[in-house]
């Protein structure tokens, strides 16, 4: 998942500090520019020099995927209708 990486030799997620900056920036943009489309958010990230894990430009699909995972980025794990505090660290508060 964008913003995290698997800790070497373990099944534990840790924050990828470089990618976490992008996640935080996206949610910051969404907070301040609620009326912006997914495309506008992707374009802004691209203009600011951020890129995907593969070094490509962000698209609206990737932006939507990150926004849809807001709870996970807040440290909450969801399984079906059940939500609990995850074992992974939160990226956004």
Q: What is the mean pLDDT of each run of 10 residues along the chain (93 residues)?
A: 91 94 98 98 99 96 98 95 94 95
Among 69, 29, 32, which Cα is nearest to 50's?
29
Asked if residue 36 belongs to a domain, the reply is yes
Using DSSP bridges, classify how beta strands 76-79 and 13-15 pair: parallel, antiparallel or unpaired.
unpaired
Asked if residue 92 belongs to a domain, the reply is no
What is the model's pLDDT at position 9?
83
Q: How many domains does the chain have?
A: 1
Asked if residue 91 belongs to a domain, the reply is no
What is the model's pLDDT at position 8?
84
pTM, whole model, 2 decimals?
Answer: 0.92
Asked if residue 11 belongs to a domain, the reply is yes
Domain extent at residue 21: 4-85
Q: What would the two tokens of residue 22 be?
A: 């992008």
Asked if residue 93 belongs to a domain, the reply is no
């Amino acid at each position: 998942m964008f913003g995290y990486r698997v800790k070497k030799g373990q099944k534990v997620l840790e924050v990828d500090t470089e990618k976490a900056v992008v996640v935080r920036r996206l949610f910051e943009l969404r907070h301040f520019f609620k009326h912006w489309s997914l495309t506008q958010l992707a374009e802004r990230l691209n203009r600011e020099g951020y890129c995907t894990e593969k070094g490509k430009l962000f698209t609206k699909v990737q932006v939507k995927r990150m926004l849809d995972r807001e709870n996970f980025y807040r440290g909450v794990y969801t399984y079906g209708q059940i939500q609990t505090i995850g074992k992974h660290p939160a990226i956004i508060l």
